[in-house]
């Protein structure tokens, strides 16, 4: 059983790091979500030119959390558009033909295992973490898992990472301490571009 889990874990890791797999998921999800973002909701973006100046790694985006997946999907659209030198608009989504895939996002392990759609989204770059205050709808209290923060810090070494410190879609929820700990760890890392962290 242990060997089977190890093999499955290795396969999942390979798929999550594969440009072909991530690019395909970005393309499909991007095409399906584009009309809602750009046409129906008329997404407005400012400051895209600042993203063009950022390095390709060690950048942490700290965001509020209003939906389960729309926040991340919107970020991915913007990042891909920026990689094609678009400014303050998505425009025609030809950027999905060769998307910017060096992006990962932090998500609750419980959520990402809940159904086949969330499991598919996991392959788009999810870094799954265990909630310290909630499990299966029940309020709990447990310590931060060091492995979770290590995985996030390791992901920052090669990617942009999106994190949601509220950890829930509930309005006005307080931010969790884990994000501050990640920033502190990354800031003290020798490989970190401190100018980027200071600008967040």
| Domains of the chain, residue spans | 2-198
Return the number of other C-beta atoms located less than 10 Å from residue 47's C-beta: 9
With bands split at pLDDT 50, 70 and 90, how would you rate the model's confidence at 187?
low
Task: Indicate the pTM of the whole model.
Answer: 0.79
71 class by beta-carbon count within 10 Å (0-12 exposed, 13-18 middle, 19+ buried): middle
Which residue, chain included where needed, has tokens 């200071």? 198
- Signed CA dihedral, 171, 174, 176, 179: sign only: positive
Strand partners, 139: 134
> Dihedral of the CA atoms 140, 106, 122, 196 (nearest 10)?
-170
Neighbouring residues of 157: CB distance < 8 A, sequence distance ≥ 6: 57, 58, 191
What tokens were used for 35? 């009309």
Distance in angstroms (rounded) separating the CA atoms of residues 140 and 153 = 25
Nearest CA among 10, 5, 15 for reference residue 122: 15
**96-141 per-position pLDDT tens digit:** 999 999 999 998 888 888 788 888 888 899 998 886 655 555 555 5
Position 51 pLDDT exceeds 90: yes
Which of 6-10, 30-34, 51-55 is predicted most confidently?
Answer: 30-34
Tell me which DSSP letter residue 167 carries: -
Asked if residue 149 has pLDDT above 60, the reply is yes
């Amino acid at each position: 059983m242990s060997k089977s889990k190890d093999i499955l874990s290795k396969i999942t890791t390979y798929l999550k790091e594969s440009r072909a797999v991530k690019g395909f998921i970005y393309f499909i999800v991007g095409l399906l979500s584009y009309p809602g973002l750009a046409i129906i909701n008329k997404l407005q973006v400012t400051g895209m030119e600042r993203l063009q100046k950022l390095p390709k790694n060690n950048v942490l985006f700290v965001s509020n959390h209003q939906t389960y997946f729309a926040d991340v999907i919107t970020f991915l659209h913007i990042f891909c558009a920026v990689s094609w030198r678009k400014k303050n608009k998505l425009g025609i989504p030809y950027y999905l033909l060769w998307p910017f895939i060096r992006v990962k996002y932090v998500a609750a392990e419980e959520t990402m295992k809940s159904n086949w759609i969330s499991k598919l989204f996991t392959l788009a770059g999810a870094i799954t973490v265990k909630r310290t205050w909630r499990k299966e709808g029940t309020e709990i209290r447990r310590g931060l898992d060091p492995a979770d923060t290590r995985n996030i810090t390791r992901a920052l070494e090669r990617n942009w990472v999106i994190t949601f410190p509220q950890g829930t879609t509930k309005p006005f929820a307080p931010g969790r301490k884990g994000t501050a700990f990640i920033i502190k760890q990354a800031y003290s890392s020798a490989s970190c571009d401190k100018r980027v962290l200071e600008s967040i």
